[in-house]
Structure 1
Amino acid sequence: MIEPLVVEFDVDASVPHAFDVWTRKCASWWPTSHTVSGDPSAITFEPLPGGRIVETGPDGAEHLWGEVLDWEPPGRLRFVWHLFFDRSEATEVEITFNPRGDGTVVRLEQTGWDNLGPAGRPRRDRTGAAWAAITSRYVAAL
């Protein structure tokens, strides 16, 4: 079994604000190098189970990144994730936002690597490095 990828960090923001910036203001901090279009006009989390996670390019083209499984603002979000990959290669991401002192602890856990066969472990390792860069931009945006 390939262990989950876990990224956990503290932010200087309230739980509702941390959740809002992750889900509603994603395009303001998500690196363009990790998008399909290279210059998204929007990144949208449709706020309900079954909702899409979609990038809208400058030409209006939509690129599906995943689907929301659980939408529990402001404390939890879980989704199927397949940015850059076919839906058959999706993993699952759960993000929780919990109070800690005057701020929030954000915990991201990504699972499902075993479903990728031999590609699972290398993809997990590459994804860990990507999340480190992405979450540092998120922290700066808060």
Structure 2
Amino acid sequence: MIEPLVVEFEVDAPVAHAFDVWTRRCATWWPAGHTISGDPSAITFEPSPGGRIVEIGPDGTEHPWGEILDWEPPGRLRFLWHLFFDRSEATEVEITFNARGNSTVVRLRQTGWDNLGTAGPPRRERTSAAWTTITTRYATAAAG
């Protein structure tokens, strides 16, 4: 069994703001190098189970990244994630937002690596490095 990928960090922002920055302001902090278009005009989280996570390119082209499984603002979000891959290779990401004083502890847990067969372990390692970059940018945006 391939262990879940867990990234946990604290942001200097209240829970509702932290959730909002992740889900409604994603395009302001998500690294362009981790997008399909390289210059998205928007990244949208459709706010309900079954909703899509979609990158909108500068020409209006939609690039699906995933699908919302659970939408529980401001404390929890769970989704299928297949950015750069076919939906059949989706993993599952759960993000929780919990208050710690005036800050928020954000915990990202990604599972489903076993479903990828031999591609699972190396993809998990690459994804771990990517989340480090992405979550650092997010924490800066949420605190700003």
Which category describes the TM-score, using the shorter chain as reference length?
over 0.9
* In 2: Cα distance, 1:125 partner to 1:34 partner: 16
Question: What is residue 22 of structure 1 aligned with on the other side?
Answer: 22
Question: What is residue 90 of structure 1 aligned with on the other side?
Answer: 90
Tell me, yes or no, if structure 1 residue 79 matches structure 2 residue 70: no
TM-score, normalisation: structure 1 = 0.99
* In 2: Cα distance, 1:54 partner to 1:92 partner: 16
Deviations 1:49-78 (A, max 9, x none): 000000000000000000000000000000
Gaps of 5+ in 2: none
Tell me, yes or no, if structure 1 residue 5 matches structure 2 residue 5: yes
Question: What is residue 129 of structure 1 aligned with on the other side?
Answer: 129
Structure 1 runs (4+) greater than 3 angstroms displaced: none
SS of 2:60's partner is coil
Aligned residues: 142
Identity %: 80
Matched letter for residue 11 of structure 1: V
Question: What is residue 63 of structure 1 aligned with on the other side?
Answer: 63
Deviations 1:16-37 (A, max 9, x none): 0000000000000000000000
- For the aligned residue pairs, the C-alpha RMSD in angstroms reads 0.3
1:102, CA displacement in angstroms?
Answer: 1.4
* In 2: Cα distance, 1:125 partner to 1:36 partner: 20
SS of 1:106's partner is strand
1:101, CA displacement in angstroms?
Answer: 1.5
SS of 1:66's partner is strand
Gaps of 5+ in 1: none
Matched letter for residue 50 of structure 2: G
Matched letter for residue 26 of structure 1: C
